[in-house]
Amino acid sequence: MRRRRAMKLELGRIYIRDVRFGETTRVEGGVLTVNREELANLLLQDERLTAVELDIARPGESVRIIPVKDVIEPLVKVSGPGGVFPGFIGKVETVGEGRTHVLKGCAVVTTGRIVGFQEGLIDMSGPGAEYTPFSKLINVTVHCTPREGLTQHEHEAALRLAGLKAAAYLGEAGRHAEPDEVVTYEHLPLPEAIARYPDLPKVVYVYMLQSQGLLHDTYVYGVDAKRILPTLISPTEVFDGAIVSGNCVSACDKNTTYHHQNSPVIEDLYARHGKDINFLGVVITNENVTLADKERSSSYAAKLVRMLGADGAIVTEEGFGNPDTDLMMNCRKLEEKGIKTVLITDEYAGRDGGSQSLADATPHADAVVTAGNANAVVVLPPMEKVIGYPEQVNVIAGGWEGSLRPDGSIEAEIQVITGATNELGFSRLSARTI
């Protein structure tokens, strides 16, 4: 019998130890050189932008980036169907196969005039740096000035595309570079996947995508996730940039595009596949605002997981408040079908941690992992250099009028820090019993 073809993706990881501006954009000896003028001119082809300023922020530097819109990892499709960020940069063709080169240790960070009040900051040093994984990356910042008269949605779309273009441009420099490491991921057709490890518990990942609208949007192959029914996706597609962030949910628990590209849940499920679990795949679902939409999506997602024959499911949320209901509906409907669940979320439990953590609950949610309390207050010291507009912290979710002090220091909830309580578990917080 002829073996069905698996989806197989090779990720060639090129580790970047420094980024500098120069005459030719290239990768050589672990150094990414960027032609600043060429990249700026590429981005300025978008008539919605009137100016683009590029800078570099390195780990340990006294630099603050604010407001942060998105973080994206540079990559290039070397072989296989489609291209990176399909629907935006690459054609709308299924990705997740062939070979992709990724520039590890660096990222594109988009910033500029605030779009929505739920954006954030990245400190490259000091106590704030400990809350975000992005302080450990060499960041190429893309500061965009929009044309006057743009609506908020047009402004966000222009910034989103600029970040993706910049990441694809930088990724292209790694096309012919020799990777430091090649990691192979394979996703088998379902009958083969079940047959290969018949004695291991079958696990599916239910991947909740922010889709409330009003600048709370995520895109799958260029399609706004609020327009989809829950569906199956190969985990390898996610690594190729099939899911793109376009949302302004609170900075601490928004999934940037970088988070999607490097999903720790998917990576860990792959690492345990064939050892103590049989990882069958990913069901993506949305977080819409009406009760009917929530009922529809949660029921449909649970049906798909049951059809796959799963014994258990990991469910991750994005955002808080309204999506807590989606999380609990997904949990309850899966558990009622005999499918064990583990949830990953974060908490808004008040500054003293004494309030109700989530806006909804169900007795079925008896295995929950927390990514931290977003209401915890920190004081961030002033930085020598600020890329962007520091005064925006006074209106960003988690800040308040007076958060920015006269000396440049900031008092705010960790909600303002990009990735501080990320609900994929891509964070630096842990919990202990007291």
pLDDT (tens, 9 = 90+) of the chain, 434 residues, equals 445 588 999 999 999 999 999 999 999 999 999 999 999 999 999 999 999 999 999 999 999 999 999 999 999 999 999 999 999 999 999 999 999 999 999 999 999 987 776 789 999 999 999 999 999 999 999 999 999 999 988 999 999 999 999 999 999 999 999 999 999 999 999 899 999 999 999 999 999 999 988 788 999 999 999 999 999 999 999 999 999 999 888 999 999 999 999 999 999 999 999 999 999 999 999 999 999 999 999 999 999 999 999 999 999 999 999 999 999 999 999 999 999 999 999 999 999 888 899 999 999 999 999 999 999 999 999 999 999 999 999 999 999 999 999 999 999 999 999 999 999 999 877 767 67
CA distance 316 to 313: 10
Of the candidates 106, 144, 248, 331, the residue annotated as catalytic is 248
- Please state the pTM of the whole predicted model: 0.96
- pLDDT, residue 1, reads 41
Active site residue 144: no
Strands 106-112 and 63-72: antiparallel
Instruction: Give Cβ neighbours of residue 376 (< 8 Å, ≥ 6 apart).
Output: 351, 353, 413, 414
The partner residues of 232 in beta bridges, in order of sequence, read 283
Which pLDDT value is given to residue 216? 86
Question: How far is Cα of residue 105 from the mean position of the Cα atoms in its chain?
Answer: 16
Answer yes or no: are the C-beta atoms of 140 and 168 closer than 8 Å: no
- Rounded to whole angstroms, how far apart are CA atoms 360 and 362? 7
Q: What angle do CA 312, 314, 316 make, to 5 degrees?
A: 155
pLDDT score of 70:
96
Q: What is the largest CA-CA distance in the chain?
A: 73
Tokens of 35: 């032609």
Dihedral of alpha carbons 151, 156, 159, 160, sign: negative
**Residue 18 and residue 21: Cα distance in Å, rounded?**
10
Edge-first strand listing for the sheet containing 223-224: 223-224, 218-220, 243-245
State the residue for tokens 């009958």.
191
According to the model, what pLDDT value does residue 63 have?
99
Q: What's the CA gap between 305 and 290, in Å, rounded?
A: 23
Question: Please, where are the H alpha helices in 173-279?
Answer: 190-196, 235-239, 257-261, 264-272
